[in-house]
Amino acid sequence: MPFTQLGLMPELLRALSAAGYARPTPIQSQAIPAILEGKDLIGTAQTGTGKTAAFVLPFLQRLSKSSGKIRALVLTPTRELAVQVELAVRKYGRFLGLRSTAIYGGVSQIPQEEALTRGVDIVVATPGRLLDLVGQGLLHLSKVEILVLDEADRMLDMGFLPDIREVVRLLPRQRQTLLFSATFPDEIRDLAHSVQKAPVRVDAGVPRMPAKGVEQHLFPVLPHLKTDLLLHLLGKETMEPLLVFTRTKHGADRLHRILERHRYKVAQIHSGRSQRQRQEALDGFRKSRYQILVATDIASRGIDVQDISHVLNFDIPNNADDYIHRVGRTGRAEKPGIAYSFVSPEDEIHVQSIEKSIRKRLRRIKIDDFSYKTPIKPSGSTKSSFQERISSAFAAENRLVPDTAQSPKVFDRFASRTGTSIRETVMLRMNEPKLPARANTSKNRTVTRHHQRPASRSPRFLGGPSKEEQTELKRLQVKLFGASALRPPRHFSARRSAGSRLKD
C-alpha cells in the first residue's frame, strides 16, 4: 500500500517523496488512518519500524496551520530522543509552515525560552525540563489538542510516572492521546487506562522481538579478553558504522580511550557527558565523521542513524527489553543488520532470559584464530598489580580461571587450619585486653616473663604458628612475591647511618 492511500495531504506526500519514502511500514499503515479520525491510540511495534512517522504524519495533518500556540506535545524519556523526534517533525512538516522546538535539560534554557516567545505549534520535551518551564510561567499547556507519549515503557523505567501524571493534569480534558512503545507491560496498560478514552490498539510485528532482518550472534569470552576480541573483529571484519554498548559510563570511557589509541575514529555518549558533547558525538556519527560510537543504555532508544551495519553489546544487558532496544538500532526500516554480544560465564543467566523472551536460541560463535587462553595482563597500578599477583598464584594452584580468583582465599587457606579467618583473627586481636606498660627498670625487665604465651591454644584464636605453619607461610610468600619477600627490612636508623657513611 502506498502513502497516497492513507489519506495524507499533498504537502506531507511531497515531504515523504523528498525523503525517499515510497510505502508505509505496517505500524504506519495501521496507525495513521486511526489517528486522522481523532481516536486515542496505543501503538506497539518493534524498534526501528517507523513509530515516529506513524504519529508525526497524522498530527501534522490535523494541525495543518500555524496558530502560535502549543497544540501538540510529545513527551520522550531522553534528550537524544527529543532531538530525534523534533527533527522528524521538521522533515515531514517542511511544507506546512508549522513551528516546533525541542525542550530538554542539560543545556541552557535561554534558547528554548526564545523559541517559546516567538511562538511554536509543536513541543517535543523531556518531562523534567517541561515542568520547570511551566513552573516559571514560560510555557502554557492549556491549548494542547494532541498528547503523544513516546517510548512510554522507557519513561516508566526511568521513574517519570509522577511527572507524566503532573503534565496530564495541566492539559485540557478534551484532547487526543497517543501512546507508543516497543513493549507493553502491565504498567503501560494501567497508564493508558488512566489517560486515554477507548483507545484503538495497534500491534505491528511480534512484541518483544527484534526486527526480522537483524542477525543475532553471541561470542562467549572471558571478561578480560573482551577488548582484545573487539579489536580482533575490527581488524577482521568491516563494521562501519558500529555502535558499541557498555554497561557503565566508566566502561565506555575506558573503551573509548583504547579505541582511540588504536587510531579508530570513535565518539562516546553517556550520562557523564554534557549535552553539547553528546549531540556533537551523535551528529558526527550520523555524518560518518566517526566510525564507532560507544554508548550506554541512555542512547539505546535515542539513536536514529541510517544504515548502522553492526550493533555490539560489549556488556550484554540484564533484561530482554534493553537488549531489544539496543539491537533495534540496526536493521531499521526493514533493512538488514547484525548484532553481536560478548557473553562471559556470569552473563549466561541473562542470555537465558533474553532467549526465552524472544523465543529464539542465539547462535554461539568461537573464532578459530583468536587466543581465548591469554592470561590477565598486569596493570600499572600498584594496588591492582598486587591483587592480580595474588589472584594469579591462587588460580594456578587451584586450576581456576585467573579473573575468578580472590586474594583473601590465599591467606584464609592458612588461617583455616585453626578454625578462623584472617578477618576474625584481626577482630579478636583488636578486642584483646592491653598489657600494662612496663617501666624502664631492670626489675620489670625480669618479672615481665610471666606474660608468656599460654601453652595451649584456643580453638577460635590464631596463636603463634608452629614450625610447619611457618614453613608453609614462607612457601606462599616466595610463590606470591619472590625470594626478596624473605629478606628482613633494614631499620631506618641503619639506612640513615649507611647514608652518613657514604657522605663521609
Give per-10-residue mean pLDDT for the chain (504 aa): 88 92 89 94 80 93 87 93 93 93 92 94 95 95 95 84 94 95 80 93 72 87 94 90 93 95 93 84 90 82 75 91 83 80 92 88 92 76 46 45 38 41 46 52 45 45 62 73 61 46 42
Distance CA(342)–CA(314), nearest Å, equals 5
Residues 309 and 384 occupy one common structural domain: no
Which pTM does this prediction carry? Answer: 0.58
Distance CA(28)–CA(55), nearest Å, equals 8
Residues 353 and 220 occupy one common structural domain: yes
- Looking at residue 485, its pLDDT comes to 58
Give per-residue pLDDT as tens, 174-229. 999 999 987 777 888 899 999 999 999 998 765 566 767 789 999 999 999 999 99
Identity of the residue numbered 156:
L
Residues 50 and 145 occupy one common structural domain: yes
Question: What percent helix, strand, coil does the chain show, rounded to 5?
Answer: 50, 15, 40
Residues 120 and 156 occupy one common structural domain: yes
Of the candidates 7, 52, 58, 60, the one whose C-alpha atom is nearest the C-alpha of residue 25 is 52
Distance CA(358)–CA(87), nearest Å, equals 31
Number of domains in the chain: 3
Question: Looking at the domain assignment, is residue 458 inside a domain?
Answer: no
Residues 85 and 196 occupy one common structural domain: yes
- Looking at residue 332, its pLDDT comes to 72
- Looking at residue 484, its pLDDT comes to 62
Distance CA(84)–CA(8), nearest Å, equals 22
Domain endpoint, select from 204, 226, 243:
204
Domain endpoint, select from 204, 224, 246:
204
What are the helix and strand counts (H, E) for the chain? 20, 14
Question: Looking at the domain assignment, is residue 453 inside a domain?
Answer: no
Q: Taking every pair of C-alpha atoms in the chain, what is the biggest distance, in angstroms? A: 111
Residues 308 and 383 occupy one common structural domain: no
Residues 417 and 349 occupy one common structural domain: no
Of the candidates 26, 28, 15, 37, the one whose C-alpha atom is nearest the C-alpha of residue 90 is 15
Question: Looking at the domain assignment, is residue 500 inside a domain?
Answer: no
Domain interval for residue 385: 375-429+463-493
Torsion angles phi and psi, residue 21, rounded to 5: -95, 125
Q: Are 26 and 45 in contact (CB under 8 A)?
A: yes
Q: 108 in helix, strand or coil? A: coil
Question: Looking at the domain assignment, is residue 435 inside a domain?
Answer: no
* DSSP H or E stretch at residue 178: strand 176-181
- Looking at residue 300, its pLDDT comes to 56
Give me the CATH number covering residue 236: 3.40.50.300
Question: Looking at the domain assignment, is residue 418 inside a domain?
Answer: yes
Residues 90 and 148 occupy one common structural domain: yes
- Looking at residue 322, its pLDDT comes to 83
Query: What letter would DSSP give residue 417?
Result: G
Question: Looking at the domain assignment, is residue 498 inside a domain?
Answer: no
Question: Looking at the domain assignment, is residue 451 inside a domain?
Answer: no
89: cell is 517533525
Residues 405 and 339 occupy one common structural domain: no
- Looking at residue 246, its pLDDT comes to 95
Residues 108 and 88 occupy one common structural domain: yes
Residues 358 and 409 occupy one common structural domain: no
Domain endpoint, select from 331, 364, 397:
364
- Looking at residue 383, its pLDDT comes to 44
Question: Looking at the domain assignment, is residue 260 inside a domain?
Answer: yes
Q: Compute and round to an integer the Cα radius of gyration of the chain.
A: 32
Q: 380 in helix, strand or coil? A: coil
Residues 326 and 356 occupy one common structural domain: yes
